A and B are shown apart, each in its own frame.
Chain A
């Protein structure tokens, strides 16, 4: 199939369909309501299911119920909506259901604003809901990559029986870019007969399946958490994704940046290169599992004097970067909230200033 020009939000909806997910529940919120508008038209065309729930709280449980009977399901929302879904996400993770969530982040806290932000990094990677659970979190930097990540999210969610979150920002949702829906990313849902509540008649063994998260016995609950932990460790082994940029040079500074912000950083890096200053970048594509080793190894390169985490937040990912660098290089943060994306010039200044100080 050739390329089509599409807005990010519509491409998200289409990508899920092309991936083989025909069930969507959602509640409208700016800046991603176009996904619901697009799918309310498109799902009936492909024999799929669209339902606008009464709240994000309810939507999370609609996803839970549908996923628990073995069907592929997904939703899209933005920050305040994801906060409301977080109770449900904790249950979905506890009960090991493969639901896909897309968060097109807007500025916070509270109602915040409707412009692009990366302020939900902690919420996505460290929890949000209660208890010891993790989401597999992917952060796209273009509409094409959003399409691919949405399509990959379903088999990944099923591989781990764990919720997956796509973390984008308002720019990704609103951007128009030519996209392609790669056929090889269409997958068949896995067989879920060993755990899903899809009706005993449909299964060979004719025994009760339970989808639950309650373990009153302390040993059982500990065992359950160990099982979840083993999955998160496996993600770290098998599904870390990142993209290095200009790291085959003797860079003086290493930037860590993801999503739309990393595109601006690329421009800054190209401009600085023209000025004769080499800067490298590691762009995490998965935020959990985090590219710990890649960042560590890139930071301790002989030529590298400092690491700067550049994010549209007041310094969230930088805590993970510090953890990876283990004090072996100074780690700085630069960022902005509110919707003004830092410009290449600003980033160039930040990098140059660092060089001047050393």
Chain B
């Protein structure tokens, strides 16, 4: 058992491309950390540096307090599950699982026992004599997991292990991975770009962008308090609605054509441009109750998806404003709806840096008594 410390790590590929810039992250023992981010942001690169499959250009990575920069992958006490499983095609499942142990000169009897335990755990005991090509994708996935488990490493590394499976199997395996990780309490780093996978698996969720960490925290922290516009739009689906606007004279007004959004009283925020974010699930249909953002919007389309209905309304910019309504909601294109989001559900971001400003309180947005601003 061992935690991982990544300290000021950089990766410059031989062609001069800097994939990771000065990245630091501490992963406590036994925790499951999920790395998410858009394609090409350096998730796999980081994972492969931990594994020892890529050299580290600068900085240190230590596992269990031991700096591993110069160690071969085989000496780092890690196991990795690959996206395409990378099972040895000519070996039976037993041999696939046993290979790593044999290389470590584990006694035969112990290998047998450990392999048997692992296949029991994964429900593939009946497949031991098969070759990888004689199995389904889901079964191969399990074997790949098994190969990691039998080694009893101090760290599991997963690089999009479920992305080759169909949706149903993916959910099933996701639950299974979570269960196994809880049971084995092995420190794990898991790369994915499936949001749902990221949110459900992670003890700590790390959002990466262009070789940097945008934000790290529990999934709910990232959801409730995104530190940047990037994280705000990356976590949550549909993405958070973003309204660029201006703060002046104690009011927030959206930029350009307001499209029915009311100016909002806003105190304690410096004058100037800001971006206001509100999640679709926090934009309710109905009259304003208390302080917050309100408006009357034009419905463009609505998508009932069973438990809820996504309503697309005309927004101030080119993007529609999306709101989540109840499953039975019957908003038609052309309808006008009153919408409202309470103040404590709103997010303010700096237009320049994209960084979040302190969350609003109801007091800041309570309408000052007196004449209403003319729109």
Does A associate with B in a complex?
Answer: no
| B-to-A contact residues, CB < 8 Å | none
